[in-house]
Structure 1
Amino acid sequence: MIHSMTGYGKSVLQLPTKKITIELKSLNSKSLDLNARMPSIYREKELTIRKLLADKLVRGKVDFSIYVEATAEDTSTQINTPVVKQYIRQLKEVVDANDIELLKMAVRFPDALNTVREEIDESEWRAIEAEIDKTVILINEYRRDEGKVLENDFNKRIVIIDTLLNEVIAMDPDRIEGVRERLFKGVEDLREKYDENRFEQELVYYIEKFDITEEKVRLKNHLEYFTESVNSIDSNGKKLGFISQEIGREINTIGSKSNYAPMQQLVVQMKDELEKIKEQLLNVL
Structure 2
Amino acid sequence: MPRSMTGFARREAKLPWGTLVWEIRSVNHRYLEPNFRLPEDFREIEPALRDAMRKALQRGKVEASLNVHWEQEGESELGVNLAKVAQLTKAASQINQLLGADAAPVNALEILRWPGVIQKQELDRDALHQAALELFDSALDGLIEHRSREGAELEQLILSRLDSVSAQVVKVRARMPEILAAQRDKLQAKLSALQVELDPERLEQEIVLLAQKADVDEELDRLDTHVIEVKRSLKQTDSLGRRLDFLMQELNREANTLSSKSIVSDTTQAAVELKVLIEQMREQIQNIE
**Residue 113 (str. 1) matches residue 119 (str. 2):** no
Give the TM-score normalised by structure 2: 0.83
**2:58 match:** 58
Alignment-derived partner of residue 227 in structure 1: 231
Aligned amino acid, residue 66 of structure 1:
L
Contact kept, 8 Å, 2:45 with 2:129, in 1: the verdict is: no
Q: Give the equivalent residue in structure 2 for 1:96.
A: none
Cα deviations across residues 113-168 of structure 1 (Å, max 9, x unaligned)? Answer: 3498x886112222221111111111111111111111111111111111121111
SS at match of 1:5: coil
**Equivalent residues in 2 for 1:206-285, closer than 5 Å:** 206-230=210-234, 232-234=235-237, 236-285=240-289
Could you tell me how far apart the structure 2 residues matched to 1:248 and 1:176 are? 24
How far apart, in 1, do the equivalents of 2:188 and 2:21 lie? 78
Amino acid at match of 2:18: K
Any conservation in 2 of the 1:42–1:120 contact (CA below 8 Å)?
no
Deviations 1:55-112 (A, max 9, x none): 1011101001111111233699x998677997xx99xx9xxxxx9xx97xx97xxxx5
Output the CA distance in 2 between the equivalents of 1:75 and 1:143.
Answer: 43
Match of 1:132 among 114, 131, 136: 136
Corresponding residue of 2:12: 12
Find the residue that maps to 2:29 and give its secondary structure. coil
Q: TM-score, normalised by structure 1?
A: 0.84
Matches within 5 A, 1:137-156: 137-156=141-160
C-alpha distance in structure 1 between counterparts of 2:27 and 2:149, whole Å = 15
Q: 2:209 aligns with which of 205, 212, 224?
A: 205
Residue 193 in structure 1 maps to residue 200 in structure 2: no
Work out the CA distance in 1 between the residues paired with 2:190 and 2:242: 49
What percentage of aligned pairs have identical amino acids?
29
Pairs aligned (count) = 272
3-state DSSP class of the match of 1:156? Answer: helix
- Could you tell me how far apart the structure 1 residues matched to 2:172 and 2:124 are? 67
For 1:253 and 1:114, the matched residues in 2 are separated by: 79
Maintained 8 Å contact 1:41/1:120: no
Unaligned runs of 5+ in 1: 94-98
2:180 maps to 176
DSSP 3-state at the match of 2:153:
helix
**Distance in 1 of aligned mates of 2:232 and 2:152:** 15
Q: How far is the alpha carbon of 1:195 from its aligned partner?
A: 2.7
Cα distance in structure 1, aligned partners of 2:64 and 2:152 = 24
Secondary structure of the equivalent of 1:214? helix
- Residue 228 of structure 1 aligns with an amino acid whose one-letter code is R
Q: Distance in 1 between matches of 2:77 and 2:53?
A: 31
Is residue 7–residue 142 contact of structure 1 (8 Å, CA) maintained in 2? yes
Alignment partners' CA distance in 2, 1:233 and 1:257: 35
Tell me the secondary structure at the aligned position of residue 43 of structure 1.
Answer: helix
SS at 2:261 equivalent: helix
1:233 deviation in Å?
Answer: 4.3
Contact 1:13–1:128 at 8 Å: present in 2 too? no
Report the Cα offset of residue 4 of structure 1: 0.7
CA distance in 2 between partners of 1:259 and 1:37 (Å)? 60
Q: Per the alignment, do residues 189 and 114 of structure 1 end up closer, same or farther by CA in structure 2, a change over 3 Å counting? A: farther
Distance 1:280 1:137, change over 3 A: same
Aligned in 2, Cα 1:119/1:32: closer, same or farther, shift over 3 Å?
Answer: farther
Could you tell me which runs of 5 or more consecutive residues in structure 2 were left unpaired when the two chains were aligned.
Answer: none
> Following the alignment from structure 1 to structure 2, what is the Cα–Cα distance between the partners of residues 120 and 237?
43
Higher deviation after alignment, 140-149 or 191-200: 191-200
Instruction: For residue 284 of structure 1, give the secondary structure of its aligned residue in structure 2.
Output: coil
Could you say what secondary structure the match of 1:184 adopts? helix
Q: Secondary structure at the match of 1:163?
A: helix
Question: What is the CA–CA distance in structure 1 between the aligned matches of 2:133 and 2:223, rounded to whole Å?
Answer: 48
Q: Name the CA shift for 1:75/1:220 in 2 (closer, same or farther; >3 Å).
A: farther
Give the CA deviation at 1:202.
2.0
CA RMSD of aligned residues (A): 3.3
State the distance in 2 between where 1:176 and 1:113 align: 95
Q: 1:75 to 1:150 in 2, by over 3 A?
A: farther
**Paired residue for 2:38?**
38
